[in-house]
């Protein structure tokens, strides 16, 4: 999985299996995760990151 910081408190995750993309918008200890076209395997890896 590739992890890229797009801006302060905005992180993008790109999965290995199907190049799925999820973006996390951080607010202190809280995060809003926006997932688009993700595989089950990629989702499991995101939980570990």
Q: What phi and psi, each to the nearest 5 degrees, are found at residue 38?
A: -110, 145
pLDDT in tens, the chain (49 residues): 899 999 999 999 988 877 778 899 999 999 999 987 667 777 787 777 6
Boundaries of domain holding 37: 2-48
Please tell me whether the overall predicted TM-score, pTM, comes out greater than 0.85 for this model. Answer: no
**Would you state the pLDDT for residue 37?**
64
CB 9 within 8 A of CB 26: yes
Where are the strands (E) in the chain, listed by range?
2-7, 10-14, 21-27, 30-36
- Count of domains for the chain: 1
């Amino acid at each position: 999985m590739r992890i890229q910081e797009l801006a302060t408190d905005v992180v993008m995750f790109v999965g290995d299996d199907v190049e799925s993309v999820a973006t996390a918008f951080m607010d202190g200890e809280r995060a809003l995760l926006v997932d688009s076209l993700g595989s089950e395997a990629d989702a499991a890896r995101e939980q570990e990151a």
